[in-house]
Amino acid sequence: MNWDDLKIFLAVARNESLSGAGRGLKVDPATVGRRIGRLEDQLDTPLFVKSPQGYALTGAGQRLLVHAERAEQAMGAAVEEMAGQAGALSGQIRIGAPDGCANYLLPQVCARIVQDNPDLEVQIVALPRVFNLSKREADMAIGVSPPNAGRLTVQKITDYRLHLAAHEIYLRDHPPIASFSDLRGHPLVGYIPDMIFDKELDYLSEVGAQRVSLASNSVSVQFNWVRQGGGIGIVHDFAIPSATGLRKLLTEQLSLIRSFYLIRHADDRRSERLNRFAVALAEGVRTEVQRLEAQC
């Protein structure tokens, strides 16, 4: 058994398919299948069960997964040590984040980190759902609530604020809004109700909204609807400075506070490289939220 075989095994285990593993490794799926077959022959035991849903680990595969992940961590630690941790960060790091954070905070935060570490490659995956770190969809993720399952470490980064808002053009052409009852008859912008992946994102329930006229699973789409004068929505305070003409509404009656959490795989605590990046990321997000909220 060699490290190359274990890398292919890990890729299939995490993607649950030969094609997904092949894309990540830049290897033909047929080659991936042959390498898995060879590894199973060497170990004299099946590692996967193929079904219409994909490749699922057998009991033996589950046991090998533990050792393969340890080998992966050891190889990563060796590379880091040989590169020397006193110098700049390098290599590729992928961050998963909800699209509000990914669009309005992470671009400038990560650009500054890369500016200080020119050999570093940062990838931001913006998805309106929870990331699966066990399948290595990302090296770390930012979430809006702490997970309660899995071998993960969780660090609170910062609180952030949200308010009802509308564009001044919309407000000019519609009746004034002085209370929640005045919202009736106005088009509300928000999430598609059955696609709210975290209870912390159910903002409009705070105002008793029964109907959302303009709905999307994307915070950025919602923000652009409000910015274009399409209606009234709850927006992140840190996003408001990126658009001229937005006005916060009913600030005395409604001011929401939510939190960002940095979520990592527990075994990655041994990686000094990821530890250093996590410190820079958390501090950068915290500082950027404070800076932007002070402007709105």
pLDDT of 74 reads: 73
Phi/psi of residue 261, each to 5°?
-125, 140
- 206 vs 143 pLDDT, higher one: 143
Domain ranges of the chain: 3-83, 91-158+259-293, 159-256
CA 233 – CA 249 distance, rounded (Å): 10
Instruction: Report which DSSP code applies to 147.
Output: -
Beta-bridge partners for 120: 91
User: Which tokens in the block code for residue 152?
Assistant: 């993960």
Q: How far apart are the first and last CA of the chain?
A: 58
Q: Which residues contact 31 (CB under 8 A, 6 or more apart)?
A: 22
User: Which tokens in the block code for residue 245?
Assistant: 């003409």
Domains 3-83 and 91-158+259-293 share a fold: no
> What is the pTM assigned to this prediction?
0.74
The Cα-based distances of 247 to 17, 203, 250 in angstroms read 48, 18, 10
Instruction: Report which DSSP code applies to 187.
Output: P
Q: Could you tell me the pLDDT band of residue 69, with boundaries at 50, 70 and 90?
A: confident
Q: Could you tell me the pLDDT band of residue 2, with boundaries at 50, 70 and 90?
A: confident
The Cα-based distances of 48 to 15, 37, 54, 203 in angstroms read 12, 10, 9, 42
CATH architecture assignment, domain 91-158+259-293: 3-Layer(aba) Sandwich (3.40)
Phi/psi of residue 90, each to 5°?
-145, 175
As assigned by CATH, the class of the 159-256 domain is alpha beta
Taken as a whole, the chain contains a residue count of: 296
User: Among 54-68, 103-117, 153-167, 274-288, which is the least confidently predicted range?
Assistant: 54-68
Give me the CATH topology for the region 3-83: Arc Repressor Mutant, subunit A (1.10.10)
Q: Could you tell me the pLDDT band of residue 255, with boundaries at 50, 70 and 90?
A: very high
pLDDT of 256 reads: 96
